[in-house]
């Protein structure tokens, strides 16, 4: 008798921001399902969340959201590191 195993795979993902693109790096997770990729990155006490059709589009969205969060200081419990 075959026993079915329910497995969920979560991938580690990174978004970056800054002059060189690597000045500020933040790690999070992505999950895939129903042809959509979901990403979530922890910044301070909150999360940046995005959804896209593939990991490349998701990466662009998350990079833009990280940059916006840092430059506009949207999260008050981290220090902006951009010049």
pLDDT in tens, the chain (83 residues): 788 888 777 788 888 776 666 667 888 898 888 889 999 988 877 888 999 999 899 988 988 888 888 777 776 655 544 43
> Which token pair is 43?
């910044």
Provide the β-strand partners of residue 24.
17
> Order of strands across the sheet with 24-33?
11-17, 24-33, 36-43, 46-52
What are the structure tokens assigned to 27, written together? 């790690």
Closest CA to 21 of 70, 55, 54, 58: 70
Q: What is the pTM of this model?
A: 0.70
């Amino acid at each position: 008798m075959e026993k079915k195993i329910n497995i969920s795979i979560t991938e580690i993902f990174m978004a970056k921001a800054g002059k060189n693109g690597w000045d500020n790096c933040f790690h999070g997770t992505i999950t895939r399902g129903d042809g959509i990729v979901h990403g979530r990155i922890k910044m301070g006490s909150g999360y940046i969340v995005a959804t896209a059709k593939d990991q490349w589009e998701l990466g662009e969205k998350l990079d833009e959201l990280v940059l916006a969060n840092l430059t506009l200081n949207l999260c008050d419990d981290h220090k902006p590191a951009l010049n």
